[in-house]
Amino acid sequence: MQSFQMRADQDFLIDAPAAELLRQSARNTNFYKDAIAGQQVDEQGLLARLQAAGFGRTLKSHQVRNVRVLAALPAGATFSVPGAGKTTEALATFAYRRQPGDRLLVIAPKNAFAAWDEQLQECFPNTSDAFVRLRGSNIAKALNDDPPFMLMSYQQVAISRDLITPHLARHRVHVFLDESHRIKAGPSRKTAQAVLSVSQFPVGKLVMSGTPMPQSRDDLLPQFSFLYPEIPANSDNVVERMRPIYVRTNKRELGLPPVTHLRKTVPMSPLQLELYRYMKSEVARQATAYLSDRGRQAFRSLGRSVTRLLMFVSHPALLSREIDFAKPGLLSAVLAEGKGPKMNYVLHRARELARKGEKVLIWSSFRHNVEYIADSLQDLGAVYIHGGVDAGDEDDDGTREGKIKLFHDDENVRVMVANPAAASEGVSLHTVCHHALYLDRTFNAAHFLQSMDRIHRLGLPPDQATTIEIVGCSGSVDETVQRRLKAKIDAMAAVLNDTSLQIDPIPMDPEAVDEDDDWSGGGMDADDVQALLRDLSGAPSE
C-alpha cells in the first residue's frame, strides 16, 4: 500500500483470516527457498513418524527418497510413472505433515476414485475413516459433517467452488491434485481456473502426474502456480522453478523390462486416397485460417475437421453421411473396397494373436470404432470401454469394472477394446495382457503414454515381453500425429531427465502379416497445426 500512502491499522484493517493467509504466503516463500537449498526430512525421523501415525505400508527405497523431499515442503509434486506408487507417496506425505484435525481433499478423475479408496485402507489399516465423495446435491451436507478424507472430480470443483472455498478457508485442509495435468489449460478454462482460485487456502498441496507436460513446458505453469502462487513463473523459467519441488521415479528404477514399439504402415486404397485428398484440402484451408486469427471458434472448427480426417483414415464408414453429401457416390465406392486397410489389419492381427493364446488390448479414440471392433470380434469374447460405459460393481458385466474383471478372469474373453480418454487412467491389465494395438491416435501425448502403461507397469517379471503395435496409413495424417507425439514425448523426457519416455517405433516388415466423439482438438496445439499444415500441403504418398 506504499504507493497510496496507506498504513495498516490506520487507513485499512486486515482481519485475522486474511492476516493468516499473508503469513502462510510468506512461510511458503521461505519453504520454497529451503527446497532450492535441497532441504529434506531425516529418513529415520520420517519412518518413525509414519509408524506413530499408523501408516501401515513399508515404503520402497525410491518412495522413501521421494517422500523425504515432499514431506519437507508445504507444496510439492510427484511426477513418477504409473505403478511407482504415487498414491502411497501422497498418503505418506499427508501422514507425516498432518496435524490433529487436518483434513485431506483429493481432486481426481472419477475413474481414480476406487484406487484412492483402496490405498487409504492399505496405508491406514487401523482407521475406520473412508473417503467421502463430494458430488451433486450432497456436497453441502457432506462438508457440514466435516469428514477427514474427501474426494471430488475436477468438473465438480468448477460447479461447487462457492461451497468448497469457505470450507478450505475455515479448516486446515491439504489438497492433492491427482492427474494434475488436467489443469494445464490454466485460467482460460473454467475447471482449471476454479482449481487455481482456491490455491491460497490449503495448508498443504501436492500435484501428481506421470505426464505433467503432455503438450509443452507451458503445461507446468498452472501446476506450479497452484503449488506456489507466491513465486512468479513464466514459460522461460517454469522448468527451473519446478525442479527443486518435484520428485520422479522412472521405469528403469522399477526394473521393468523394456517395451517393444512396432509401427505397421499400410497404404490407403486408391479410392480412399482420392477422397482423402479432397478432405485434406479443406483441413489445410481451416489450418491456414486458424493460424491467421488464432480464435477459439476457428480452432474448434479445425479440431472437428482433423477429427473427421483421423476417423476416415481409421475407418471410412464412420463418416458415411457427411462425406457422401459432399462427394456423392465416391464414398459408396470407397466402402465397396472394404472396411479400410487399418481396420482390416487390426481385426486380422487380433485374431492371429488370439490364436497364439494371447490376450489383446485394442485402442481407438472414437466410440463407434470401439463398438464396431468389439462387435466384429465377439467370437473372441471382446469387451469394450468408452465414456458411455458406467462405473459400477465388478460383478455386473455391463459396468467398466465388470468388463475389466471379465478380461482378467475369463479365458474366453481374449480382447478388450478401449478409448484412451476413458481408460488410459485407473486400469491395470499387465498381469494378463502383453500386446496392444493402436488403430488410431490423436495429438494427446498424455492419453498415449498413459494408455501404454495399462500393460507395462510394476509387477511384470523381468523376462516378460510387452509389445505396442501402432497402425498407420502411409502419406496420411497418421504420420503427422506420429512425429508430433514423438516431439512432445522427447521434450518431456528432456525436462524430466527420463530417457525411458523416448519412443521410436520400429517399422514392421510390410509382408509379415496379411491383410470421445466430441473431440475439439485432441491434444492439438499451434505447433501441431503448423506441422499438420506442412504435411497436408505436400503430395501424399501413393
Buried b (16+ CB within 10 A) or exposed e, 38-73: eebbeeeebbebbeeeebebebbebbbbbbbbbbbb
Choose the final residue of a domain: 215, 249, 283: 249
**What pairs with residue 441 in β-bridges?**
none
What angle is formed at CA 257 by the lines to CA 256 and CA 261, rounded to 5 degrees?
120
Q: Which three cell numbers stand for residue 278?
A: 479432397
Statement to judge: residues 194 and 264 lie in one domain: no
Give the C-alpha separation, 316 to 296, whole Å: 28
Statement to judge: residues 230 and 346 lie in one domain: no
pLDDT band at 503 (very low <50, low <70, confident <90, very high): low
Statement to judge: residues 244 and 264 lie in one domain: no
Q: CA quadruple 29, 35, 39, 40: dihedral positive or negative?
A: positive
Buried b (16+ CB within 10 A) or exposed e, 247-281: bbbbbebbebeebeebbbbbebbebbbebbeebbe
Give the residue with greater pLDDT, 12 vs 229: 229
Statement to judge: residues 351 and 206 lie in one domain: no
**Lowest mean per-residue pLDDT among 34-38, 228-232, 260-264, 381-385:** 34-38
CA atoms within 13 A on the CB side of 8: 4
Longest Cα pair distance anywhere in the chain, in angstroms? 84
Statement to judge: residues 263 and 181 lie in one domain: no
How many residues are recorded in the chain? 542
pLDDT of residue 324: 47
* Digit-coded pLDDT (tens) for 332-379: 776 677 788 999 999 999 999 999 999 999 999 999 999 999 999 999
pLDDT of residue 22: 56
What angle is formed at CA 181 by the lines to CA 103 and CA 210, rounded to 5 degrees?
90
CATH number reported for the structural domain that contains residue 28 in this entry: 3.40.50.10810
* Digit-coded pLDDT (tens) for 298-309: 888 888 889 889
The backbone torsions φ and ψ at residue 287, rounded to the nearest 5 degrees and listed phi first, read -65, -40
Q: Is residue 356 part of a domain?
A: yes
Q: Is the pLDDT assigned to residue 510 strictly greater than 90? A: no
Statement to judge: residues 202 and 344 lie in one domain: no
Statement to judge: residues 218 and 263 lie in one domain: no
Q: Is the pLDDT assigned to residue 508 strictly greater than 80? A: no
Which of 470, 502, 508, 509 is CA-nearest to residue 487?
Answer: 502
pLDDT of residue 269: 86
In the chain, the N- to C-terminal Cα span, in Å, equals 69
pLDDT of residue 500: 74
Contact between residue 276 and residue 268 where contact means Cβ atoms under 8 Å apart: yes
Give the C-alpha separation, 479 to 484, whole Å: 9
CATH number reported for the structural domain that contains residue 491 in this entry: 3.40.50.300
Give the residue with greater pLDDT, 456 vs 519: 456
Statement to judge: residues 152 and 237 lie in one domain: yes
- Write down the H helix ranges in 424-514: 445-452, 477-496
Q: Is the pLDDT assigned to residue 483 strictly greater than 60? A: yes
Statement to judge: residues 240 and 264 lie in one domain: no
Please give the share of the chain, as a percent, with pLDDT higher than 90.
Answer: 58
Give the residue with greater pLDDT, 142 vs 269: 142
Q: Where in the sequence is the domain holding 30, given as residue range(s)?
A: 2-249
Give the C-alpha separation, 387 to 518, whole Å: 11
Say how many domains are in the chain: 2
What is the phi-psi region of residue 67: left when phi exceeds 0, alpha when psi lies from -120 to 50, beta otherwise? alpha
**E strands, 308-434, where?**
360-363, 383-385, 415-418
What is the phi-psi region of residue 69: left when phi exceeds 0, alpha when psi lies from -120 to 50, beta otherwise? alpha
Q: Is residue 508 part of a domain?
A: yes
Statement to judge: residues 171 and 24 lie in one domain: yes
State the average pLDDT over residues 157-162.
93
Statement to judge: residues 446 and 410 lie in one domain: yes
Residue located via cell numbers 509401427: 263
* Digit-coded pLDDT (tens) for 73-97: 999 999 998 878 899 999 999 999 9
Q: Is residue 163 part of a domain?
A: yes
Residues ≥6 apart with Cβ < 8 Å to 438:
362, 363, 364, 468, 469, 470, 471
Answer yes or no: pTM beyond 0.85: no
Helix (H) or strand (E) holding 435: strand 435-438
Statement to judge: residues 263 and 192 lie in one domain: no
**E strands, 160-257, where?**
173-178, 204-208, 246-247
